[in-house]
Amino acid sequence: MSARFEVGQSVRIGDRTEPRHHRVPAYVKGREGIVVCLCHPQGLPEELAYRESGEPKQTIYRVRVSQPHLWSSYQGEAHDNLEIEIHESWLDPL
């Protein structure tokens, strides 16, 4: 299984509504980030939650997102980041 994205690559997290369970929090949908780590492939939680196969497994990426870009009222440091693990199907290249 080959990874679609590389460490250091800029990506956008999908901004879509799923009619059933998914693992992408609303506050990161549509946000841009940088891939910082490739994690082991896993089955899709949107399927596994409903006792489906979850296949084919997808690479999970740890994506770094700037906190000031997440929340307009953020009062922390400008360099603060959030890292979140996202399935490949939720990412688009920039």
Q: How far is it, in rounded angstroms, from Cα 44 to Cα 86? A: 10
Q: Is the pLDDT of residue 1 over 70?
A: no
* Domains of the chain from N-terminus onward: 10-93 (2.30.30.50)
Query: pLDDT tens across 54-94, in order?
Result: 898 999 999 999 999 999 899 999 999 999 999 999 999 99
Q: How far is it, in rounded angstroms, from Cα 46 to Cα 22? A: 5
The pTM is what? 0.89
Q: Is the pLDDT of residue 44 over 70?
A: yes
State the average pLDDT for the chain.
92
Q: Quick check: 22 and 15 in contact, CB under 8 A?
A: no
Q: How far is it, in rounded angstroms, from Cα 67 to Cα 65? A: 6
